[in-house]
A and B are shown apart, each in its own frame.
Chain A
């Protein structure tokens, strides 16, 4: 395996144009030293974090490994800092993905002028993803003109309605796509539910769903509501006059039940779809993947069956990697699922 080498430059009290100039010099030096090809680039990631917690975010980004964006610009905000400092690291072996990390140490006083700091080092002509995991006041608004996509986690707010509202408001206020980590945590569940109901012996069972229970880790209710919002959008359900109930296309009641269940992993822990006759299909986290379970209607001669659906947990690094990739392969289901989830949460009324 080719070794990954690093080229580093850093300076205190620097201006952004100087950083951009240093990056070009580093690239030239690397090219002359290794005679490697020009790297192709696909994505900028701009991350704004509180300096005190920057290490945790840096570790999360590092864990994405080969999935790291071509250029990461990490802004570490230390409120009392007055001078701008920068560090540039170029990493890559010339054949695998090339990563450039630009770290700026900034103070509160720089937040109003963030765009002028970041703009010179953002690669033009490739998408820019913006992430503010600590939700530093004003940072997102200041940098939105540079970004086409914003990454957030609607579970961060604690209250699911609040988290989903923040995502909706951002979407409505600005012309940006949203990558919601809570939504991405539902992806394997959506894929498995979609393929399960496409199996010949389950076809038709989507017509008489009477209850959907979504089990989620405490603090991940937003993910559960997004899954319910997705189902409601795809199956044409609308909110009923009763809390926690939707009406299907025929007007039948569908009980929606997000339930806390501690599986030790952020996101969802399980889901059960139950029909009018009481027969159900369930998915739950299980060693080696998910446990699938078909339970027949009471009194039915069929036996209950359960089995393992293979798949390794992606972990939070995998979710973050999926978020980065999502910027390049847009997701056209989120907007509708978000709107659906929000309606189910607030209406009836």
Chain B
């Protein structure tokens, strides 16, 4: 009788039934490790992951920056950033453990010696822990360094995957024009495989945005209505009450269209309009989103005014406080023509959405903070109630910020004799249902990057498809020498936004 053959035990056996395992042992290298984003978001997110036991078994952090700091000073900055910006009061012992595993490499991002030092430090850490560490390089720097950093990583063997998994996370903005985005993709793809590249759009890390997928594809209620037969129009609004918050340098070079529409709001549009994916897997979902983005009709130059409006806030008041006009904000050049408000009418040229306008609107210093999606349904074809009053079409409104709601606007009978109809809103706060609070977007995104899960990151073709939508508008605005239409701070934006509406449509009040 032959000996029985035993297969080696699959370690995945232990993972079955567990929600999620901590990521594999890793070193996270943050380029721009003492910058604003790192201090406000990334380092506090790392602390919260550590607090909840969601960092790898062996974890090391390396900050890289041209700021001349010693390791102790970096550790102190890390601790201070956590104490100041973490969503929870830090546990001193957990924070102490995180700080003890933090290291610093000082040097320029385009200077080869920085990478030689980084290489040596990673090797030293691997020696210390006695095993190879997965490497995640997080590019939290000015965008002009993205290409050079990736090339330097390649030249110094820091992008290789034979030794251990290696990934690169790239912050926004991914290019400031379509050509730049294409060129950046080309440069980084010469060094990295697409599977190694994790382009951040932090909106995708928000629970509320992920919930749009759940609401659309896990409920029978909405999907039968989700097409041109039943939907008259869609409005996506992202309004901010704040102004520049000291970021004039960045914002004046960017503007509302690049800052929010090119990335976040086009992602929301893609999620809203995409076909159901075959599986909840990164490439299935990203492929469906790319199809939508590629189907967005480019706006012809000679019809730009019918489809796009830009505005800039003037002086006004927010929350009872007088606030200055954009042009009077510190750091804004006198010659600036940057828009702080943008509104677009887009069309998704597919069988499902032909003829349905998708209105997108974003702006700063508007009346309040609000991110919502409003889907307006077609009016009823016949109203049997004579003299009942005007009946507004039904609307389904998904509020993403500041609170999570789904509201359905319905017509209802006013109690009493006679048949008088008035709109009522069934406002359903589903954020109140769930146990525990949502993690910050960056906590989810960092964990996914450490795990190598790409679902919430954008693919090269997705980014380029987004730029294809936006670039014609930027080109037109860049050459017409017009000044953005002014609106009062605290208002709902410039009056001119009405000109892009189809007859019968109206902007929702912010």
Q: Which B-chain residue is minimally distant from A188 (CB atoms)? A: B53
Q: Which of B9, B58, B100, B129: most chain A CB closer than 10 A?
A: B9
* B435 A192 Cβ-Cβ under 8 A: no
* A67 B435 Cβ-Cβ under 8 A: yes
Q: Which chain A residues lie closer than 8 Å to B15 at the CB level?
A: 194-195, 198
User: Which of A41, A201, A329 is B433 in contact with, Cβ under 8 Å?
Assistant: A41
Q: Which chain B residues lie closer than 8 Å to A201 at the CB level?
A: 130-131
Stretch of A48-56, A92-100, A102-110 that contacts chain B: A92-100
Q: Which A-chain residue is minimally distant from B90 (CB atoms)? A: A312
* B91 A288 Cβ-Cβ under 8 A: yes
Stretch of A31-39, A74-82, A171-179, A256-264 that contacts chain B: A31-39
Contacts A42-B433, A207-B8: A195 and B22 contacting too (C-beta < 8 A)? yes
- The answer to the question of A302 belonging to the interface, with a C-beta cut-off of 8 Å to chain B, is yes
**Chain B 1-55 interface residues, beta-carbon cutoff 8 Å to A:** 6, 8-9, 11-19, 21-22, 24-25, 50-53, 55
Total chain B interface residues with beta-carbon distance under 8 A: 52
**Chain A 200-238 interface residues, beta-carbon cutoff 8 Å to B:** 200-204, 206-207, 231, 234-235
Stretch of A22-30, A146-154, A303-311 that contacts chain B: A303-311
- The answer to the question of B281 belonging to the interface, with a C-beta cut-off of 8 Å to chain A, is no
Contacts A40-B433, A249-B6: A196 and B97 contacting too (C-beta < 8 A)? no
- Give the interface size bracket for A toward B: 35 or more
Q: How far is the CB of A255 from chain B (nearest CB, A)?
A: 18
* B428 A37 Cβ-Cβ under 8 A: yes
Q: How far is the CB of B342 from chain A (nearest CB, A)?
A: 28
Give CA–CA (A93, B220) in the complex, Å.
30
- The answer to the question of A190 belonging to the interface, with a C-beta cut-off of 8 Å to chain B, is yes
Give CA–CA (A305, B16) in the complex, Å.
28
Q: How far is the CB of A18 from chain B (nearest CB, A)?
A: 26
Q: Which chain A residues lie closer than 8 Å to B25 at the CB level?
A: 199
Give CA–CA (A197, B22) in the complex, Å.
12
Q: Which A-chain residue is minimally distant from B98 (CB atoms)? A: A310
Contacts A194-B18, A235-B13: A325 and B429 contacting too (C-beta < 8 A)? no
* A321 B436 Cβ-Cβ under 8 A: yes
Contacts A66-B436, A194-B21, A305-B129: A292 and B57 contacting too (C-beta < 8 A)? yes
Q: Which chain B residues lie closer than 8 Å to A270 at the CB level?
A: none
* B21 A198 Cβ-Cβ under 8 A: yes
- The answer to the question of A69 belonging to the interface, with a C-beta cut-off of 8 Å to chain B, is yes
Q: Which B-chain residue is minimally distant from A39 (CB atoms)? A: B432
Give CA–CA (A96, B19) in the complex, Å.
25
- The answer to the question of B157 belonging to the interface, with a C-beta cut-off of 8 Å to chain A, is no
Interface of A is mostly: mixed
* A289 B94 Cβ-Cβ under 8 A: yes
- The answer to the question of B427 belonging to the interface, with a C-beta cut-off of 8 Å to chain A, is yes
Q: Which chain A residues lie closer than 8 Å to B9 at the CB level?
A: 204, 206-207, 235, 249
* A333 B16 Cβ-Cβ under 8 A: yes
Q: How far is the CB of A230 from chain B (nearest CB, A)?
A: 8
Q: Which A-chain residue is minimally distant from B130 (CB atoms)? A: A305
Give CA–CA (A294, B128) in the complex, Å.
13
* B97 A288 Cβ-Cβ under 8 A: yes
Q: Which B-chain residue is minimally distant from A207 (CB atoms)? A: B9
- The answer to the question of A57 belonging to the interface, with a C-beta cut-off of 8 Å to chain B, is no
**Chain A 159-173 interface residues, beta-carbon cutoff 8 Å to B:** none
- The answer to the question of A328 belonging to the interface, with a C-beta cut-off of 8 Å to chain B, is yes
Q: Which B-chain residue is minimally distant from A68 (CB atoms)? A: B435
Q: How far is the CB of A45 from chain B (nearest CB, A)?
A: 10
- The answer to the question of B440 belonging to the interface, with a C-beta cut-off of 8 Å to chain A, is no
Give CA–CA (A67, B14) in the complex, Å.
28
Q: Which chain A residues lie closer than 8 Å to B24 at the CB level?
A: 195, 198-199
User: Which of A98, A206, A303, A332 is B11 in contact with, Cβ under 8 Å?
Assistant: A206
User: Which of B14, B50, B432 is A194 in contact with, Cβ under 8 Å?
Assistant: B14
- The answer to the question of B132 belonging to the interface, with a C-beta cut-off of 8 Å to chain A, is yes
Q: Which B-chain residue is minimally distant from A94 (CB atoms)? A: B429
Q: Which B-chain residue is minimally distant from A294 (CB atoms)? A: B130
Q: Which of A192, A309, A331: most chain B CB closer than 10 A?
A: A309
- The answer to the question of A193 belonging to the interface, with a C-beta cut-off of 8 Å to chain B, is yes
- The answer to the question of B96 belonging to the interface, with a C-beta cut-off of 8 Å to chain A, is yes
Q: Which chain A residues lie closer than 8 Å to B435 at the CB level?
A: 42-43, 66-69, 97, 321, 324-325, 328
18 examples of A-B residue contacts, CB within 8 angstroms: A37-B405, A37-B429, A94-B429, A190-B14, A198-B11, A198-B12, A198-B21, A198-B24, A250-B6, A289-B93, A289-B94, A311-B50, A311-B53, A312-B93, A312-B94, A328-B434, A329-B19, A333-B18
Q: A37-B428, A203-B11 are in contact. List 18 more A-B contacts (CB 8 A).
A: A37-B405, A37-B429, A41-B433, A42-B434, A67-B435, A92-B432, A95-B429, A198-B14, A199-B25, A199-B131, A206-B11, A206-B14, A235-B14, A294-B130, A307-B129, A311-B52, A312-B94, A328-B434
Listed in ascending order, the chain A residues whose CB lies under 8 Å from chain B are 36-43, 66-70, 92, 94-98, 187-188, 190-204, 206-207, 231, 234-235, 249-250, 287-289, 292, 294, 302-303, 305, 307-312, 321, 324-325, 328-329, 331-333
Question: When A and B form their complex, which 8 residue pairs have the shortest distance between CB atoms, in order from nearest?
Answer: A333-B17, A311-B53, A40-B433, A288-B93, A37-B429, A194-B14, A310-B50, A40-B430
